[in-house]
Structure 1
């Protein structure tokens, strides 16, 4: 199985299920989300003024906004689907009463897809694999089995008898993504007030490059072969073998298992602990195992097999660690564990997290990074949505002295930052108690000595269990 849970109800747009590609159409659809919200907020104010209860009006506002977001992003797919995956993690930090409708809508987005009709599927296969494509399979199921962010997956039987997953890209997806990225670059300046010291253009360019990589199935197949070879024979992890790749079609071995979303929804604590441990280890051991970070950690890309292994799919977004990464990570982690504001500030400047000439509030930086100290020095730590919410609310306080306005993200670290942020969100959804120190040691061997000598008594108390 690939990228998403088994398909339930699907959205259908167009006779062939094509992605809308005209720039004016896509821009108008995306713009309708904030414009629609603004209109509904004005209407909500009027309803409160005539006496309707605030709680009732607000619930209706967010429910309608969530549904509208789901409909627009579900129709446009492409980069919009990636945005939906991102939002499905960050709704975790919203208050529960506000987050509920977004959680439902965005979960549906991950599990739904504008399905291509069989005729369109056959046309893609014929174009990519040749008119005799049916000869490659003993059997091919025209019904799509799972959603991919930029395409869909079908179950089939390869000509040697193996059950396989056939991933094919939506017609028009490549053009739609290219248009979305051009639009993103044009409006990237809007982020400047929130990241005043950041190289916004560099970050956006790096992000666009990584998203473009996800359209390259040849690159994805190469990445997956590296991971599959590195974890071959593992008792804990399963990476499906690549069977065939040609153009915009990628064929891999089929893997059955329990979707990670089910563990998140109703897993017992022992299961959460084990799966959380596996999830953390896999996402940190890639560089040591095969020289790559796994770059797309979201629930639809993982399953738990019957023998307890964590199966992982979708390797289009992988990235090599940047030059000097281990040294940088060791210094930054040591600074967090040690808790010295001057050392943290010096490290931030040394590794490019502060632009030249920008003043930095070292005490505020130490206070913020101190939120991440406990997971690094305790033998085990239970990640939770409550903990994540407290962290995000602390770092996103809207006041002029917020230290985040003094920091930047080096563009070369954009893919790594994306992986860590998304991975932390999923880990908090799983809610497992995990050995963070041990997992970090596989990525940064020097870290364990620092962590083992950290004074536990000075850790900020936390009620995240």
Structure 2
């Protein structure tokens, strides 16, 4: 890893410099706009947010490692940022550092306590995937079993808490976090917990085993890699090699196959949320692979969200109230989920329009490629903007919303064209005890 990423003092100075620069820009912008009208202030704030968003993304992207992962996780909670900032930091999800193989070999040998080629029959030097905190290599075990080995970059787990504090300070100074301090504390605690979990591959190994056992009992065409514990540790994770095609390839298959895959993705997510109460919350297409018999392979269980029974119950009853267009019940459950600032402020007419748009993909014969719900939703956003502060991001709902939205776009990529109302009823029955 680059020297500036591995030195705590250099990393701190770079983050502190970014924070000071952001504070200066924010104060200067306020002074310049003391006599400006509302339109000029809005244009100036938009430019400021674009500028600062790019600065944050560029700084974190250069630093790689843990601090880049902080930015990536923060970008998953994009609902708490203005669009200009969310768009800028979203690019962190696509960036990845380059690490010399010698550092990877040293890390593997340190973690497993033996020379690389004593632990493995062969080990590809070139990674086939890389991310902010580690990269993945193909290898072969001594018994001939083909595996993939996920290796965490050396030193990446060293100053995560201070990195997160600096990023949060920068965001607070620029005044872009759209929530009160109490909710900020809850969200950043969750981000810190998520970061800590992702840096511990033993937790991911446990997640893999839990989800594999769960899905094996329900659907033999949901494939989750097997963990090889003797070749894994806190910073090394060795898994069975499960081959499949990308979502781009799967999108060219016959409609019947694409519909089968789409149903399998939605059913698996619903079963995880409503039955297991833990779900795979990184719906990026790269975390899935597909086979022409309709099989879905799920990778990367570093990101898993656990839900309480109360939260799951509120989600179920929220869906039921939405089906019945019961606005009072909807607001009661949104309030219980900490997603509503106050009741009775959002017009009933807009509620009903939003309900039709949001339920359309799950209650009609819907063409995901046409994507009418999204297009109509964009129109509704413009009509709803003046009421947008009525709703607020919540630690209880952000990752559920993000995951459902991500799978909606996966079905768009697959060009699913199907009536999912029976699946919707299966997962969340109209009548809930």
TM-score, normalised by the number of residues in structure 2 = 0.75
Correspondent of 2:234 among 247, 251, 256:
247
Shift of 1:351: 4.0
Give SS of 1:348's match: helix
Does residue 173 (structure 1) correspond to residue 156 (structure 2)? The answer is yes
Which segment is superposed worse, 237-246 or 125-134? Answer: 125-134
Moved over 4 A (4+): 15-21, 26-33, 68-72, 81-90, 187-193, 195-198, 266-271, 287-291, 383-386, 396-399
Query: Is 1:298 the equivalent of 2:298?
Result: no
The 3-state SS of whatever aligns with 2:127 is strand
Give the corresponding residue for 1:415.
399
Does 2:146 align with 1:160? Answer: no
String of CA shifts for 1:308-361, please: whole Å, max 9, x gaps: 411111111212222223421222112222224333333333443324x66622
Indicate conservation of the 8 Å contact 1:336/1:372, yes or no.
no
**Residues 45-65 of structure 1, C-alpha deviations (whole Å, 9 max, x = no match):** xxxxxxxxxxxxxxxxx9xx9
Specify the alignment match of 2:183 in structure 1: 199
SS in 2 for 1:352: coil
Shift of 1:141: 1.3
SS at match of 2:237: strand
Within the alignment, does 1:23 sit opposite 2:12 as a pair? yes
Counterpart of 2:309 in 1: which secondary structure? Answer: coil
Q: Name the SS of the counterpart of 1:154 in structure 2.
A: strand
Give the 5 Å matches for 1:280-291: 280-287=266-273, 290-291=276-277
Deviation at 1:248, TM superposition (A): 0.5
Taking structure 1 as reference, are residues 296 and 157 closer, same or farther at Cα in structure 2, changes over 3 Å only?
A: same
Correspondence for 2:117: 134
C-alpha separation in 2, matches of 1:427 and 1:339: 26
Could you tell me how far apart the structure 1 residues matched to 2:66 and 2:222 are? 29
Write out aligned runs for 1:208-219 (5 A): 208-219=192-203
Give the corresponding residue for 1:375.
Answer: 361
- Find the aligned partners of 2:364 and 2:379 in 1 and give their Cα distance: 23
Q: 1:194 to 1:87 in 2, by over 3 A?
A: closer
TM-aligned CA deviation for residue 153 of structure 1: 0.4
Structure 2 equivalent of residue 227 of structure 1: 211
Q: 1:431 aligned to 385, 390, 415, which one?
A: 415
Gap runs ≥5 in structure 1: 1-12, 37-61, 91-100, 451-465
Q: CA shift at 1:290, angstroms?
A: 4.4
Cα deviation for residue 291 of structure 1 reads: 4.4
C-alpha contact 1:165 1:253 (8 A) present in aligned 2: yes
Q: What is the CA–CA distance in structure 2 between the aligned matches of 1:410 and 1:338, rounded to whole Å?
A: 24
How many pairs were matched up? 394
Contact 2:64-2:132 at 8 Å conserved across structures: no
Could you list the per-position Cα deviations for residues 211-241 of structure 1 after superposition, in whole angstroms to 9, with x for gaps in the alignment? 3211121111001001112233744210011
Q: Secondary structure at the match of 1:319?
A: strand
| Aligned counterparts of 1:115 and 1:269: Cα–Cα separation in 2 | 39
Q: 2:61, 2:68 within 8 Å by CA — same for their partners in 1?
A: yes
Give 1:80 shift.
3.6
Equivalent residue number for residue 124 of structure 1:
107
2:346 corresponds to: 361
Q: What RMSD over aligned residues (CA atoms) do the two structures have, in Å?
A: 4.2
Contact 2:258/2:414 (CA < 8 Å) preserved in 1?
A: yes
Tell me: higher relative CO, structure 1 or 2? Use CA pairs within 8 A at least 6 residues apart: 1
Q: Which residue of 2 aligns with 1:14?
A: 2
1:399-438: CA deviation from partner (whole Å, max 9, x where unpaired): 4x32x30123443344333433333343333332345434
Decide whether the 8 Å contact of 2:255 with 2:416 is kept in 1: yes
Shift of 1:194: 3.7
Alpha-carbon spacing, 1:128–1:197, altered in 2? closer, same or farther (3 Å)? closer
1:315 equivalent in alignment to 2:301:
yes
